[in-house]
Amino acid sequence: QKEVEQNSGPLSVPEGAIASLNCTYSDRGSQSFFWYRQYSGKSPELIMFIYSNGDKEDGRFTAQLNKASQYVSLLIRDSQPSDSATYLCAVNFGNEKLTFGTGTRLTIIP
């Protein structure tokens, strides 16, 4: 069974600090990795995707992928209260489908 695991949290981070969200996955053959943000009662919105080992930066967000360790993370710099949400990690295991983790609830404390 192909699985995606995340710490459900809640993770509390002071405003202005760096929030670090982690995700592990079960299949070494996984090809693409996605981070989604979901506000309560809303559908997920794509933040970033990453395919290659290393870091990918987009504004305050950095995705980090380590395929050898089967680990993908999302860093949020200069955290803002509006970043408070549930963050979903999703993995494409080589078919068309995305498998989602259970999500990490992040709270930014003003």
Partner 1 sequence: GAVVSQHPSWVICKSGTSVKIECRSLDFQATTMFWYRQFPKQSLMLMATSNEGSKATYEQGVEKDKFLINHASLTLSTLTVTSAHPEDSSFYICSARRFTEAFFGQGTRLTVV
Residue numbers at the binding site for partner 1 (CB under 8 A): 32, 34, 36, 41-46, 49, 88, 90, 92, 96-103
Cβ neighbours of 75 (radius 10 Å):
16
Residue whose CB is less far from partner 1, 14 or 54:
54
The minimum distance between CB 81 and partner 1, in angstroms, equals: 21
The minimum distance between CB 17 and partner 1, in angstroms, equals: 25
Q: How far apart are CA 100 and CA 84, in angstroms?
A: 19
The minimum distance between CB 34 and partner 1, in angstroms, equals: 7
Q: How far apart are CA 84 and CA 109, in angstroms?
A: 9
CB 19 within 8 A of CB 83: yes
